[in-house]
Amino acid sequence: MTGYFHRIARDSWAVCKGMWVTLRTLVKPSITVQYPTEKLTPEPMFRGVLLYDVERCTACGLCAKACPSNCISLQNQVNEAGKRAPKAAWYAIDLGRCSWCRLCEESCPFKPKVVWHSIDYELVFWSRDEMVRCWKPGTPLAGWVHDPKKDAFRDPSGQVVIQEVPARHDEKGPKHD
Ligand code: SF4
Ligand code: SF4
């Protein structure tokens, strides 16, 4: 008989302990988000999609030399004397070959960097052509992608840029920005 009541007490205590864990979790802030309309923002050092500022680039080629995957190519503009000018006529990165090693960003001699990893972690490609981002003077930082159907360059629409999506701000929750 004593053993019977002992087991009831022991199991009741176990149920109470379990319910205490449930109650504590119930009042904690939620750590899930309503993706894709709501997104967590990665830490600043996160290596996301590469961005590039064609207006500040001197076309020195250091990033292309540093790239171990040989995925950066560029061409200098030519001045009136027919010599290479310190400006890029075009610049391209094949993201399909990129290993996200950050060597291109580190080799760029400018601060802030002219080519750098953004915190955008979303990439959806429908073809290998779309993996090539290309910039020319006047192109936005995200660059253009090649559309083989139209044989023309267009902005990477359809690929969500996380900076344009409101991040979840919750003072009591995990750090999001
Ligand atoms: S992150 Fe690495 S692999 Fe990708 S473009 Fe830069 S240097 Fe090349
Ligand atoms: S991005 Fe930087 S390293 Fe690369 S060509 Fe331009 S200035 Fe040079």
Decide whether any atom of ligand 2 lies within 6 Å of the 62 Cβ.
yes
**Distance, CA 68 to ligand 1 centroid (Å)?**
7
For every residue of 7-55, DSSP letters joined together read HHHHHHHHHHHHHHHHHHHHHSPP----TTTSBPPPPTT---SEEE-TT
Q: How far apart are CA 158 and CA 25, in angstroms?
A: 37
3-state secondary structure (DSSP) of residue 141: coil
Q: Which residue has the higher pLDDT, 72 or 174?
A: 72
The pLDDT score that the predictor gives to residue 166 is 53
Q: Shortest CA distance to 47 belongs to which of 111, 92, 113, 140?
A: 113
pLDDT band at 13 (very low <50, low <70, confident <90, very high): very high
| Positive or negative torsion for Cα 57, 63, 140, 145 | positive
pTM score over 0.85: no
Q: Whose CA is nearest to atom 5 of ligand 1?
A: 98
Q: Shortest CA distance to 121 belongs to which of 156, 155, 163?
A: 163
Decide whether any atom of ligand 2 lies within 6 Å of the 40 Cβ.
no
For 168, residues 6+ apart whose C-beta sits below 8 A from its C-beta are 33, 38, 39, 40, 176
Nearest atom, ligand 2, residue 60 CA: 8
Q: Whose CA is nearest to atom 2 of ligand 1?
A: 101
Pocket of ligand 1 (CB under 6 A): 66-67, 69, 71-72, 93, 98-104
Which residues, in sequence order, are bridge partners of residue 116? 51
For 111, residues 6+ apart whose C-beta sits below 8 A from its C-beta are none
pLDDT (tens digit per residue) in 88-144: 999 999 999 999 999 999 999 999 999 999 888 877 777 888 889 999 999 988 889
Mean pLDDT of the chain: 85
pLDDT (tens digit per residue) in 142-176: 889 877 778 778 877 665 555 555 554 444 433 43
